[in-house]
A and B are shown apart, each in its own frame.
Chain A
Amino acid sequence: MLVAVSTLLAAAVGIPLGIVLTRRPRLARPILGIAGVVQTIPSLALFGFLLPLPLIGGIGARTAIVALLVYAMLPVLRNTYAGILSVDPAISEAATGLGMTARQRLWWVELPLALPVVLAGVRIATVVSIGLATIAAAIGAGGLGVLIYRGIAIVDNRQILAGAVPAALLALAADGLLGWIERRQSRWRES
């Protein structure tokens, strides 16, 4: 649940922001830089930072979603940006030269061509989020992480595994599912 909400939010924010960055190249470097720096903050520390903040902070799932969103957004943002920039400039110029408006070019040409890369970003974001979500139990967000922490506390390997194994399986399943969507999508493009 945590993962689904935060990944969807990350996509909802990251994809448009990535598109904006391709239109404002001067903003791209600082914003991607900041996103990269945030990514290096250890997740437990980030949860700690967020706790005392009003509105987004506090104990519980909301704080966890905010933190996961921060981590999940970078891959989405970076891949959207890179995906759109990777569209052959000759193709974009052809679109403009034939009389497409900037918006038509984006929706008809650039986004469809960047889609595989954007989807790959969402896939990375999902897998990263699943791993981090277990840590969110430390701030009372619930989830499989609760089992892991309890197991660690009472030195019970079975409980640790009861949390860790499903979390890992979940990550693999999500990765597989998104990978399958990605492949299906690219097959459709080639057919």
Chain B
Amino acid sequence: MGVSPAIEFQVVRKSFGGRTVLDDFSLEVRPGETVALIGRSGCGKTTALKLVNRLLEVDAGRVLVEGRDVAREDAIALRRKLGYVIQEGGLFPHWDVRSNVETVPRLLGWDEERRRRRSGEVLGMVSLPAEEFGGRRPRQLSGGQRQRVGVARALAADPPVLLMDEPFGALDPIARRALQREFLDWKRRLKKAVLLVTHDMREAFLLADRIAVMDRGRIRQAGTKADLVERPADDFVREFVSEAS
């Protein structure tokens, strides 16, 4: 048996009220791989992401993280081992940058010295030196800087798996470019499994190893950039791909 996937969706279905938002949804993210979920708003991509850290629960099917069914794990413990990056950072406005970054280490009960060392490390990695930025509040940062802090916070406890929900969506094009470039650099160094939600095909092509194009709760096609460009499964995928070029 090989290494189990970092994340695996097995024929998942999810509905809200009477509306089915995910149906027959199967996908896997291998260790070290970045997979983008892409589609228009309301296609179910964020729902799929939230099923992984159990902010939502599946109606049918299973979601596995590192080979283990998330429904059988303690939700709190599970979330602490998954890095989570949210649109616009989702930072706690009443805490300074350092405290924000140290959130998960503190939840895990690390001692102060170890937390300090780690927050200094990850802040350095996202080019926000702790000596200069550690004491600032989120509102004293630019959008791009807040987003970096969000990434640093997700990386703080060194999780093997990262969930990123439109991480660069709210940024201006220049800041977004810069962060995307940095993402590729982090990715090369850290070798995390990443599930990335985006609505921007160009971003997906740039960042992801594989891309799953979604429409109304189903995956139309999942594959590499080359697969999608050269062998689009249908017109929907073709149209989506053409937007990026």
Query: Interface of A with B (CB < 8 Å)?
Result: 90-91, 93-101, 104, 108-109, 112-113, 189-191
Contacts and interface: CB of A to CB of B under 8 A. Distances in A.
Nearest to A90: B90
Contacts of A97: 50, 53, 55, 79, 84, 86, 90
A104 B93 contact: no
A98 B79 contact: yes
A98 B80 contact: yes
Contact of A91 (B53, B76, B80, B92): B92
Contact of A190 (B86, B107, B139, B153): B139
Given A99-B80, A190-B137, A91 B107 contact: no
A111 to B, nearest CB: 10
Interface in B76-119: 76-80, 84, 86-88, 90-94, 103-104, 107
B103 A98 contact: yes
Nearest to A115: B94
Contacts of B80: 98-99
A94 B92 contact: yes
Contacts of A100: 76, 103, 107
Contact of B76 (A101, A108, A190): A101
A80 to B, nearest CB: 17
A113 B94 contact: yes
Interface residues of B, number: 23
11 contacts: A90-B87, A94-B92, A97-B50, A97-B53, A98-B80, A98-B153, A99-B77, A100-B76, A112-B94, A113-B94, A191-B137
Contacts of B77: 99
Contacts of B139: 190
Contacts of A104: 107
A93 B90 contact: yes
Given A90-B86, A93-B55, A190-B139, A99 B93 contact: no
Interface in B52-91: 53, 55, 76-80, 84, 86-88, 90-91
